[in-house]
Amino acid sequence: MPLPPDLHVHTEWSWDAPNGHMERSCERALEIGLPAIAFTEHADWALVHEGQHAVGRARFRNLRILTGVELGEPHWFPKESAAVLAGGRLDRVHGSIHCIRLDGEFLDASQFRQREGLDFPAAVRSYLRESLAMVDSGQPFETLAHLDYPKRYWVDGAAPYSEADYEEEIRAILASCARTSRVLEVNTTRGHTLCPDIAVVRWWYEAGGKAVQYGSDAHQPDKVGEGFAAATKMVEAAGFKPAADPTALWRR
């Protein structure tokens, strides 16, 4: 089966991707047979500011190159988000949660396990509540990115992450996404973890979700498209199918 487009890629123009490279990411996409790639640089006002630029498309005639942005916590920063979106047309706009508010400060989920005394399951529920608030806020993003982002940073020695432990919260998010005609991202998290896993993709189908996209969330070129072979098999098993156009979203 041909690979789908990678619609969530970061380059050197994202604050957390010092090893990113736009042209080499395009070269990698062609090397592994991707039909399209979207550069979705961070716009994370809770932590830092980001920049964007365009790549010369003439060099990559066999690759569809899309422009995009990943809006971090856009419901917290509606004016800043609106300013980014007003800067020009973007092909892909992702909404994502990275941080929760804790004790009067922003805490990124990647730092949960470094926070001494943190109730990790409670922090994950707080993260999911913020995800629901973002979806319900009406902010103009199309795709919900990495729904279960904290899973990447699970506490060593703790009981394994289980979707069933957060089923109520996740199903509420999926229902809101379906109601607002959003797209669910399957984020392959640089190849080693699928976010979300098949249980959640099946809940998405049950909720009436119409479309799924794939994103490696690559922060360096050699990670572009990583994990897609496993991800596509999982998504197909959950009931979603590729379109005739290889650059299009997968639909039910």
Sketch out the chain's domains with CATH numbers: 6-251 (3.20.20.140)
Q: Could you read off the pLDDT of 25-66 as tens digits, one per residue?
A: 999 999 999 999 999 999 988 764 333 344 556 678 899 999
Q: Tell me phi and psi for residue 239, to 5 degrees.
A: 115, 5
Tell me the pairing of strands 105-108 and 99-102.
antiparallel
Tokens of 86: 């007003």
Could you tell me the pTM of the whole model?
A: 0.90
Q: Could you read off the pLDDT of 189-229 as tens digits, one per residue?
A: 877 789 999 999 999 999 999 999 999 999 999 999 999 99
Beta bridge partners of 67: 39
DSSP 8-state secondary structure symbol assigned to residue 218:
B
Do residues 7 and 213 lie in contact, with contact meaning Cβ atoms separated by under 8 Å? yes
Give dist(CA 127, CA 201) in Å, integer: 19
The chain-wide mean pLDDT, for the chain, equals: 92
